[in-house]
Structure 1
Amino acid sequence: MRRLRGNFKCVGASVGVESQLCNLANVIQVVDPKLHQHLDHLGGGDYLFAFRMLMVLFRRELSFGDSLYLWEMMWALEYDPDLYNLYEEPDSDRPEDAKAKPKSSRQCGKFEREILRSGAKDEETLPISVFLVASVLKEKSVKLLTEAKGLDDVVKILNDTSWNLDAKKSCSGAMTLHKKYLKKVKLENATSL
C-alpha cells in the first residue's frame, strides 16, 4: 500500500492519481495517436475512465490470485534497490555514505533496466502501472475505435475486461509499449534539438 499512497493524496483540488491519468494520456498519444484522438473526441481526453484501474492497480479487474500475481510481476519489473528508501521515513542515524551507493543495472528489474539504458531523466520516468493500463487500452483499441460512440461505451467496453484480463499478457504488452514509448520520445527529443 505504500506504493499507492500517492494515489490517495489530495493536493489542492486534485487527487494524486490525476498525474498518472495525465501520463497515461501522454503515453497513448505517443504510441497510438489515433486512439487518443478518438477518446479525446468522445470527451475522454482526461482518461477518467481509467481511474479505477490505476487507483487500486487492477484489483477490481482481476481475481484476488491474479491481482497478487500481477502485483508481484509489476514490482519485480520495477525493482530498484534504492526504491525502498522512498517509502520509509528518513533515517538520520545512518551515515551519508550508506545512503548513496552507485546503482548497477544488474540489481534492477527489467523495467528499471530499460529506463537506465534509455538515459531517461527522473521526471521522464513513468510507473509500469501506466503502461499496464495503456496495454489494456491498446488491446481494446479496435473495439474502442469501432464501437465507442460516447464515454458510456468506453466505460462499458473497459468494464467488460473485469475478470477477463490476462496478467501475463498485460505485463508483456506493457513492456512492449514501454520500449515503443521510450524510442518515440527519444526520437522526438533528438529531432527537437
Structure 2
Amino acid sequence: MQLRQQRRVQYAHWKEECRKLDSHVGSGTIITAPIITEYGEPIKDPLVLMQAIPSANSDGSDGAKAGKFDERITDQKVIQWKLTLHQIGLDVLRTDRSLVFYEKQENLAKLWDILAVYAWIDIDVGYCQGMSDICSPMIMLLLDEADAFWCFERLMRRLRGNFRCTEQSVGVENQLQSLASITQVLDPKLHQHLETLGGGDYLFAFRMFMVLFRREFSFCDSLYLWEMMWALEYDPDIFSLYEEPESLNEKKEGSKDKVKSIRQFGKYEQENMKNGGKGSQTPLPISVFLVASVLKDKSDKLLQEARGLDDVVKILNDIAGNLDAKKACSGAMKLHKKYLKKAKKP
C-alpha cells in the first residue's frame, strides 16, 4: 500500500506537468484534431479549434484556453508530444467501442489521459498506434486511474520494443524472424508456401504481436490469454511487483541463491531451463509460439485456399474473436517443446 501510494503521487505529478503543457489533460475532454504544426506553430483553423476544445463554450473559459494556441512552441520534446495528442484521441475513439464501459465520456477521457502522460514520460517510444488496445483493459479492471497507469507502464516494459520502429526496421521484426524460423523447422511445407506467395517476412502476423492478440480473441479471452502467458513465462529472478527499474540488474545478480527449485518458474520457462536455454541465449517469448500455433491450426486452409498474400490476411482475419485461449496456449507449449528438441539436433 505504501508503494502504491508513492506511485499514485508520482502519476499525479506527471499528469500535472502535462496539464500545464496542455489544459485538455485532466479536463475530461480529448483532442481529435491537430493543434500545432510540426514547427510548433498554433493551428488557428476554427473547425480544428472547435474539435480540439469541445467544452470551450460551456465552461466559460474558452478565451483562456484559446489564448494558449497563440504561442509558438520551440521545445522539440513538447512539439513532438503535442503532435501525438490528436492521434491518441482518434485511437481512443476506436478502442473497444462495442463495450458499454466506453459509452461514458469520462472513461474515454481517462484512457486518453493515461496514454498522453505515458507518451510524455517515455521519450524514446512516445505513443504508437495499438497502445490504446493494450491500455484499455487496465482502465476497466482498476478503478484508480494511477493504478491503471502503472499496470500499463509495467506491461509496456515487456512490450515497448514492439513499438520501436525506424525507417529500416519495425519493432517486432525479431519476433517475425523467429516465427519464420520456427515455422520452417516445424512446418516446412507451410513455410515454403508462404515464401512462394511473397510472405516469407511474415508481416501478416504483425498485428498479433503489436497488440498482443487483442483483435484475435474476445475481450475476456484475451485477458485470460495474457494471464496464462505471464504465468507460463514467470521467472522469479526477473519479475517482481516491488522492483524499481534501477534495482532490477542488482536484484537479478543476487537473487539466484534464493530460488530453491525449478518449480518456482513458469512451465514455459522450465522447458527453456531444461533445454539449456537459460543464460546461453535469450529465450523466445511464448507469443511467438502462440502465433505459430495459430498458423498450424490454419495450415491446411492456408495451403489449400491461399493464392496470394491477401488470402493469407483474410484467412487470419476471419479467426478474429473465434479463437480459444486455452487451446492456443496448449498448442504453443507443444510446439515449443517440439521446437527445442528439433533445434538441438545437428
Which TM-score applies when normalising by structure 2? 0.51
Listed as ranges, the matches of 1:101-180 within 5 Å are 101=257, 103=259, 104-120=261-277, 122-123=280-281, 125-180=283-338
Alignment correspondent of 2:37: none
Letter in 1 for 2:328: S
Q: Determine which of 44, 52, 77 is the counterpart of 2:199.
A: 44
Post-superposition Cα deviations, 1:32-61, rounded to whole Å, max 9, x if no partner, equal 000000001100000000000011110011
- Computed over aligned residues only, the root mean square deviation of the Cα atoms, in angstroms, reads 2.1
Give the alignment of 1:21-36 within 5 angstroms.
21-36=176-191
Q: Percent identity, aligned pairs only?
A: 68
Structure scoring higher RCO (CA < 8 A, sep ≥ 6) equals 1
* TM-score, scaled relative to structure 1: 0.89
The CA distance in 2 between the partners of 1:101 and 1:6, in whole Å, is 30
Q: Report the CA distance shift for 1:105/1:96 in structure 2 as closer, same or farther (over 3 A).
A: closer
Superposed counterparts of 1:67-106, under 5 Å: 67-84=222-239, 89-91=245-247, 98-101=254-257, 103=259, 104-106=261-263
| Contact residue 179 and residue 292 of structure 2 kept, 8 A | yes
Give the unaligned 5+ runs of structure 1. Answer: none
Whether the 8 Å contact between 2:216 and 2:322 is mirrored in structure 1 is yes
User: Is the Cα contact below 8 Å between 1:4 and 1:56 reproduced in 2?
Assistant: no
Classify 1:99/1:58 alpha carbon distance in 2 versus 1 (closer, same or farther; 3 Å).
same
Residue segments in structure 2 that go unaligned for 5+ positions in a row: 1-154
Runs of 4+ in structure 1 over 4 Å off: 94-97
For this pair of structures, how many residues does the alignment match?
186
Compared CA separation, residues 6 and 173, structure 1 to 2 (3 A): same
> Would you say the 8 A contact 1:24–1:130 is kept in 2?
yes
